[in-house]
Structure 1
Amino acid sequence: MRKTFLITLLLLSINTFAQRPQRPQGQERQPIKITGTVLDKDNGDPLEYATLVLQSVDNPEKVTGGISDIDGKFSVETLPGKYNISVEYISYKTYKLPNQLLKESTDLGTIKLALDVAQLEGVEVVGEKTTVEVRLDKKIYNIGKDLTTSGATISDALNNVPSVNVDVEGAISLRGNENVRILINGKPSALAGFGSTDALRELPADAIEKVEVITSPSARYDAEGTAGILNIVLKREKTLGFNGSVSVNIGYPSQSSMSVNANLRTDKFNVFNTLGYRYYESPGHAFYENSYNDGQYDQINENRDYTRSGKGFNNNFGVEYFFNEKSSLTGSFFMRFQDGDDLTENYSDYFESGLLTRKSFREEIELEDEENYQFSLNYVNNIDDDGQKLTADLQYSNGDEVENSTIDDNNTFPNTSLNTLESIYQNEIEDEYLVQADYVLPMGDAQFEVGYRGTFEREITDYKLDSLNRSTNQFVTNEDLTNKFNYQENVNALYTQYGNKFGKFSFLAGLRLENTQLKGEVTSDFDTSAIEDALGEDVDLNFDKNYLGLFPTLNLIFEIGEMENISLGYNRRINRPRGRFINPFPSRASRANIFQGNPDLDPAYSNSFDLGYLKRWDKLTLTSSVYYKRETNSFEYIQEATGQTTTDSVRIIRSLPINLSSNERIGAEAGVLYNPKKWLRLNGSVNFFQFSSEGEHNGTDYGTDNTSWFARFSSKVSLPEKIEWQTNAFYMGPRQNSQTETKGMLSLNLAFSKDIMKDKGTVSLNVSDLLNSRKRQSYTVSDDFTSRSEFQFRPRSINLSFRYRINQSKDRDRKNGRGENENGGGEDEMEG
């Protein structure tokens, strides 16, 4: 049974294209075609994805074959010769024809397969274990069976992946470190919002095939991201014919969405398309208690209510054309439109010497209009049957986001009066070009790889703030805040890596050379001296910096046995400050709180080690690792008083990113996948880490020591009547940085699903944050003030979804994988 499963996956992974036996020198042989039809013996139904295996008798290592289409028919080209022929289908008895001499094209006729009852229970167990695959440089998680992601977004789905955490504001961290690189299909993408995670909150989780957690990236990947890489692989069918799915979702608080996935595959081309629409209303709440050491007010309390609404449309369309069985060209186009309408209501109480002396009400209305486009070309040439391969990529991405905000701040006690009325306009335009080429050369058991990648980004931020002059009743431009900032980041990289296997020992060693250019230019019609004074005389608002770095990587695996191995990884990586971190002009979260970028920021560098252990039993899989990371020149947010006050005497606090001297992170994580019964699956993981940093700024020591942990648990139960029940729990332990302590947080999700319409449809009901406990509670201390806060991005939500599959049975996911088995490996597929 296990051998059958592996052969099936192998044939799917080569897309039904046969590996041709080597032709003896001097002998020309023309391919012949082997055809036939596979049916169920009991009911005569065609068996889609049945496997035809042709094994050479003279050279048993040469195996070719293909799979049947929706009508049970197969057609495979091979060279004349003597073959052992078998037709296999998981949970059916194998049909065999040994020692067949094939001289010309042959029709094997109708082949009827009978159920193998003895294998049925084993198939169910294997299907339930196709959730994790371990490679030399990454772990692959299939989230396709996660019921709690039905109707959810990509951001929600990531929060169910081990080692990953998505906080209440959507910030993504890996092993507790937010400096993680997000890739889509192995490349930076407009789908990921140019490094921002906002777009991931709009795209449907149904579009994801798998998530690759790369904590020890090889030299093939960008050196960006000191925490590592999350690579989100989107679905694309590789099976012949037309297939697809339609998903419809409604929920409370008010939300609705629809997504359509469609795929048409022929011998010469593959057309794929994902279309999605989403409308949402998302309320939220925050509370801040700020105490000041001096100034007019010794305490200010803020209660904020958020009402966010918006609608988004996205479409990803592509065509893959096959020049021949070895080479293809894929062109794809992605577009995303997002309109947002956010209302923030802030009720503030002001205290002097402990007495309430004033109240105010602040209303902010923000209208957002965002557009993203991406064009991609990908060329693949599998030069020979030994694995020699050449790939080339061209990609252009564009993002245009316009925000118009109106801020109305009024006193409500002891009298009613206008504090300020402001109008803010902000336009961010981003362009990114990517050029990449990779070449792979197998050398026996070894493999050599070399490549180039160039990414060229430009970001223009146009910011304007107008305030109402109460004496003239006219709007006046705030010259200190209005600006236009042009930022460029150009990275050219060359890499090479070599891998080999000696018995039970495998290694992959690589070296990446990257040149980084960071350029910033301020365009302003007003005097910038106030900005320069605030940042310091040594800071240049217009800069052109260049960095050249070598980034070695090494990944080792030792196979203790077939079901057990030890891995060791080392890598050096970089953290480049993005445009918002460098833009010197302040932007306002409120009148009393501003964020200011620091153009004096330099990249941070890290060296990381990861020691892993994997052990598999019949019904249990254990993955674990111990890791250490040291980062130099790291940067972190600090909060400090500016020495300025608003027109009503409120002290203005500034958030500023700075380079700290260094930080260290050491931790351990473990994950367990346990299938005690065929109807029960348990999955749990825990990550414990210690973080310490040192450094000072403006005479203040920002060093800190912090110990924290997070854990998740998931159970999935198969109930009668094709009902499945899943529970996901996540706990983030208390943590702290140089200024802020954050309390622990528990989140619980619950979901049910039922197959209907002869398994072509699935109805799902899920509740996110069942206990309504996903709230961030923190306490900040500085030399000038203290702040206690609670923030909830969105409350408990309920979602009902329906998914209908077209020529796409649910059993395909469980038994046969998707085309190239992009769902992740099963128990027998984990690699050492």
Structure 2
Amino acid sequence: MRLSKLLSALTLLLFSFSGIAQMAKVTVSGKIYEKSTNTPLEYATIVLKNVDKPEIVTGGVTDEQGNFSLDVVKGTYNISYEFISLKTLTVNNKVIENDTNLGTVFLEPDVSQLQEVVLVADVSTVEFKLDKRVYNVGQDMMVKGGTMSDVLNNVPSVTVDPDGTVALRGNENVRILIDGRPSGLAGINIADALKLLPADSVEKVEVITNPSARYDAEGGGGIINIVLRKGKGQGINGSVIASVGDPEAYGLSANINYRSDSFNLFSNFGYNYRNSPGNSSTDSEYFNEDGTTRNYIYESRTNQRLNRTFNANYGIDLFLTKSASWTHALTFSKESGANPDNVFYNNYDANFNPTFVRNRLNDEISKEYSIEYSSVFTKDFEKEDHKLTANVAFSKNQDNESSIIYDQILGDPSSYFTDVTLNNQSQLRNLLQADYVLPIGKDSRFEAGYRGNFQKNLTDFNVNDDSVFTNLLEYKENVNALYTQYGSKINKFSYFFGLRWEDSNIEVNSITSNDYNTKKYNNFFPTATFNYELNDDSNLTLSYSKRINRPRGRFLNPFSSYSSNINIFQGNPDLNPSYTNVLDLGYLRKWDKITFNTSLYVNMTDDTFQFIRKESGNFVTTNVDGVNVQTPVIISTPINLAKEYRAGFEMNANYSPYKWWRLNGNFNLYRVENQGDYTYTDFQGNEVVQNFDNIATTWFTRLTSKVTLPYNVDWQTNVTYRAPQNTAQGRTLDMTSVNLSFSKDILKDKGSLALNVSDLFNTRKRRSYIDLDNVSSFSTFQWRERQITLAFTYRFNKKKERENNQRRDDGGGEEMMGTP
């Protein structure tokens, strides 16, 4: 009841914004294309200057399809169209009294500009649209010399845990795509891959909280699409970035592009060496059956993560005709690393008197490589927006890890022993996809498409050839999908309906234990979006979708970790997929200096994943002074719970109070309710029923401030706060982190120097309590300590983009109709 009242009140609050009176305006729209290739220009600039009132200047930039749409006061205008390395086209004394479509404008190459660095096309760091938010990485000094994980940690609505887990609006069931598709570049473990791939290869990140039927139904929390850099300027252009950091880190990356009338060559490559020290601790108190204290174990851990990574991406766009293009790309990544994981177990008796200290050193080395080939064919028909796209992608990934584990009680040489572990993982992925778009009339559109995603993973985990912990796991996933969508616009109201059908064939085969599981199912996933333009500067949208979250990787593998032999993580091969129904009510409002976006959302998930801890029935026996001390082995594993209800309110805002100061804020308040019981049989044959009903309300906020200081020095500060949250078995405490960056353009704007400090106060640590009947513990975890990085960027024949206060159309049109 309280939740429904809260939602009703917030809904009324959103509608109240629409009452502000607005000046009568008309809409000016059109397209900007490159003449030589007949391709749309993204981020081309259009500027309208009022002839009679020179102080009235309106501007914006085009979207991915070259479209623009601006609201202007009636009058006579001089109009200019501009883009990097192309001649500026100017139309003078254009009378605009009604809604006007300026048609398609073609810009020609301007070879004389290739040797200059001129400020032409400006984009905002964060753009709010009706169906997604776009974060332009090129404007963010914070990520220079960093990784993709650093990029995502700066994106509104997105958080990255200290262990690398990505969440959208606090929901970890998020689908991460690269260039719009599952990619072999991301490797087998997406969280680990994001920590290694360089930020400099990323152009922008798209956050889609409620995707249309065109997208995969995977990801109950939404989709994050990482778009890699690909040059668009005519001739040869590109940039080189060199970085150095403390703790020890070195990086060198470059992106080079050559474009002609008939083809476009593009490339990104880089080498990085990083030392990322981290630490964690777990203080545990163990209880007897009567509730009295039995003993204490305080576990402290340090990691020394050393990684050497080389990545390369090469491709070519072939402009076959003015209406057809064919893109080929090859991506390769190779990584070698070492991670000495040193653990000390400080043991105490019931009175907290020290008894002994046990040391366990996990000396791990790893080697990984991935390779992917993709091909995309695009055909534009005569009718505007009539398009056919087909693509294929093939990838292979191999990740080999080996460890020698040294274990002993300090001061007792006879207790010394070693374990040897191997964890070899391979992945093969094939992707087939076709999308067709057919405009119908002036304001309607039909879409249809197919996607086939075929994946095979093999995990070979081995401990001393011991059958208890050794396992060979085979995972096969074949998903075929068909979708169709239709949308139309009637005056200020528009709608878009979609339906996706996915046929899933999943095999989880534990070959060592001769346990074979096959799961076949097919589902319909409906989507619907309704949009209403309240006035020229505000929109209201309501959307619905059904999503799926399939368990993968370490969630399914029965044995995937042995760095600690008393706290062991195990996957669960019997996990079923979870299904989520998503409802989202969004409001977008624009003022001269502010863009304001809010949403109310509700997620209802069946069979949601929940991590539990329980006794395994096994004990680690340690002989101390002739006495055997037994420590129970605690298992952490995921299970399916019955229900999860998640409801929240989110607010995003861009505010530019002055030309030299820009603010971006994100706030998310949400309530999570879990309902479900878990039943298992303990090692004594007793049936144990655990109730996981839990209600938790929490919030997080992020504020980014960018200030231009004297001498054109840019200063950027990022502050993130995550509030505490109750869990089914304990509580996670709050966490605050601060990032700082300074940047200065040099060499006549051809170069830039950036100094970044990630986690300025070294406070980005996850802290949590867990309380079970037999053990109570407090844990802290810090994946990476404070990092300081100095990066130098040099651009050749490439214009530097800056953010300005030009307003652009953030809603309506294709975005509201669900185009990715």
TM-score (norm 2): 0.84
How far off its partner does 1:341 sit?
0.5
- For residues 718-775 of structure 1, the C-alpha deviation after alignment (integer angstroms, 9 at most, x for no partner) is 1222211111100011113211311111100111111100000000111111111111
How far off its partner does 1:635 sit?
1.5
Three-state SS of the structure 1 residue aligned to 2:111 is coil
How far off its partner does 1:557 sit?
1.4
Given that 2:678 and 2:691 are in contact with CA atoms closer than 8 Å, whether structure 1 keeps it comes out as yes
Alignment correspondent of 1:482: 470
Alignment correspondent of 2:126: 131
**Partner amino acid for 2:333?**
R
Alignment correspondent of 1:310: 307
Given that 1:297 and 1:351 are in contact with CA atoms closer than 8 Å, whether structure 2 keeps it comes out as no
Q: Which one of the candidate residues 770, 775, 788 is aligned to 2:778?
A: 788
**Partner amino acid for 1:322?**
F
- For residues 151-173 of structure 1, the C-alpha deviation after alignment (integer angstroms, 9 at most, x for no partner) is 11111011111100011111100
1:256-655 correspondence to structure 2 within 5 Å: 256-294=250-288, 298-354=295-351, 355-413=353-411, 415-444=412-441, 445-466=443-464, 477-524=465-512, 528=513, 541-585=515-559, 587-648=561-622, 649-655=630-636
Alignment correspondent of 1:51: 88
1:168-179 correspondence to structure 2 within 5 Å: 168-179=162-173
Inter-CA distance 54–383: structure 2 relative to 1 (3 Å threshold):
farther
Three-state SS of the structure 2 residue aligned to 1:590 is coil
Alignment correspondent of 1:120: none
Q: Please list every run of 5 or more consecutive structure 1 residues that lacks an aligned counterpart in the other structure.
A: 20-45, 74-88, 92-122, 467-476, 529-539, 816-824
Q: Distance in 1 between matches of 2:158 and 2:423?
A: 32
Q: Which one of the candidate residues 747, 761, 769 is aligned to 1:771?
A: 761
**Partner amino acid for 1:214?**
I
Three-state SS of the structure 1 residue aligned to 2:515 is coil
Q: Distance in 2 between matches of 1:353 and 1:236?
A: 63
Q: Which one of the candidate residues 234, 249, 253 is aligned to 1:255?
A: 249
How far off its partner does 1:452 sit?
0.4
Alignment correspondent of 1:827: 807
How far off its partner does 1:269 sit?
0.6
How far off its partner does 1:237 sit?
1.7
Inter-CA distance 15–718: structure 2 relative to 1 (3 Å threshold):
farther
1:91-170 correspondence to structure 2 within 5 Å: 127=122, 129=124, 131-135=126-130, 137-170=131-164
Q: Distance in 2 between matches of 1:350 and 1:569?
A: 55
Deviates more, 1:713-722 or 1:800-809: 713-722
Q: Distance in 2 between matches of 1:634 and 1:605?
A: 8
Q: Distance in 1 between matches of 2:280 and 2:34?
A: 50
How far off its partner does 1:584 sit?
3.1
1:14-93 correspondence to structure 2 within 5 Å: 17=38, 48-52=85-89, 61-71=102-112
Alignment correspondent of 2:645: 664
Number of residue pairs aligned between Structure 1 and Structure 2:
717
Alignment correspondent of 2:69: none
How far off its partner does 1:195 sit?
5.4
Alignment correspondent of 1:246: 240
Alignment correspondent of 2:752: 762
Three-state SS of the structure 2 residue aligned to 1:328 is strand
Given that 2:242 and 2:252 are in contact with CA atoms closer than 8 Å, whether structure 1 keeps it comes out as yes
- For residues 368-419 of structure 1, the C-alpha deviation after alignment (integer angstroms, 9 at most, x for no partner) is 0001110101110012242111111111111101101011111015x44325
Q: Please list every run of 5 or more consecutive structure 2 residues that lacks an aligned counterpart in the other structure.
A: 1-24, 41-82, 623-629, 680-688, 813-820
Q: Distance in 2 between matches of 1:263 and 1:586?
A: 42
Given that 1:53 and 1:65 are in contact with CA atoms closer than 8 Å, whether structure 2 keeps it comes out as no
Q: Distance in 1 between matches of 2:678 and 2:730?
A: 16
How far off its partner does 1:139 sit?
2.0
Given that 2:599 and 2:650 are in contact with CA atoms closer than 8 Å, whether structure 1 keeps it comes out as yes
**Partner amino acid for 1:306?**
N
Inter-CA distance 15–551: structure 2 relative to 1 (3 Å threshold):
farther
Given that 2:34 and 2:108 are in contact with CA atoms closer than 8 Å, whether structure 1 keeps it comes out as no
How far off its partner does 1:500 sit?
1.1
Alignment correspondent of 2:626: none
**Partner amino acid for 2:781?**
F
Alignment correspondent of 2:195: 201
Q: Distance in 2 between matches of 1:173 and 1:12?
A: 37
Inter-CA distance 393–641: structure 2 relative to 1 (3 Å threshold):
same
Given that 1:680 and 1:717 are in contact with CA atoms closer than 8 Å, whether structure 2 keeps it comes out as yes
Inter-CA distance 642–620: structure 2 relative to 1 (3 Å threshold):
same
Given that 1:130 and 1:826 are in contact with CA atoms closer than 8 Å, whether structure 2 keeps it comes out as no
Inter-CA distance 408–640: structure 2 relative to 1 (3 Å threshold):
same
Q: Which one of the candidate residues 776, 791, 804 is aligned to 2:794?
A: 804
Q: Distance in 2 between matches of 1:47 and 1:692?
A: 51
How far off its partner does 1:459 sit?
0.5
- For residues 299-348 of structure 1, the C-alpha deviation after alignment (integer angstroms, 9 at most, x for no partner) is 10011111111100000111111111111111111010010100111111
Q: Does 1:717 align with 2:707?
A: yes
How far off its partner does 1:802 sit?
0.3
Q: Does 1:749 align with 2:765?
A: no
Given that 1:54 and 1:65 are in contact with CA atoms closer than 8 Å, whether structure 2 keeps it comes out as no
Given that 1:18 and 1:64 are in contact with CA atoms closer than 8 Å, whether structure 2 keeps it comes out as no
Deviates more, 1:297-306 or 1:374-383: 297-306
Deviates more, 1:314-323 or 1:62-71: 62-71
How far off its partner does 1:588 sit?
2.0
**Partner amino acid for 1:597?**
G
TM-score (norm 1): 0.83
Q: Distance in 1 between matches of 2:240 and 2:572?
A: 47
**Partner amino acid for 1:800?**
L
Given that 1:193 and 1:200 are in contact with CA atoms closer than 8 Å, whether structure 2 keeps it comes out as no
Q: Distance in 2 between matches of 1:435 and 1:361?
A: 50
Inter-CA distance 826–418: structure 2 relative to 1 (3 Å threshold):
farther
Structure (1 or 2) with the larger CA radius of gyration? 1
- For residues 635-662 of structure 1, the C-alpha deviation after alignment (integer angstroms, 9 at most, x for no partner) is 2111101111013222101111111001
How far off its partner does 1:53 sit?
6.1
Q: Distance in 1 between matches of 2:738 and 2:769?
A: 24
Q: Distance in 2 between matches of 1:500 and 1:804?
A: 46
Three-state SS of the structure 1 residue aligned to 2:706 is strand
**Partner amino acid for 1:785?**
V
Given that 1:374 and 1:395 are in contact with CA atoms closer than 8 Å, whether structure 2 keeps it comes out as yes
Given that 1:376 and 1:394 are in contact with CA atoms closer than 8 Å, whether structure 2 keeps it comes out as yes
- For residues 579-607 of structure 1, the C-alpha deviation after alignment (integer angstroms, 9 at most, x for no partner) is 32222346424111222222221111010
Given that 1:554 and 1:569 are in contact with CA atoms closer than 8 Å, whether structure 2 keeps it comes out as yes
How far off its partner does 1:813 sit?
5.0
How far off its partner does 1:62 sit?
3.8
**Partner amino acid for 2:88?**
T
* Identity among equivalent pairs (%): 41
How far off its partner does 1:148 sit?
0.9
How far off its partner does 1:192 sit?
2.2
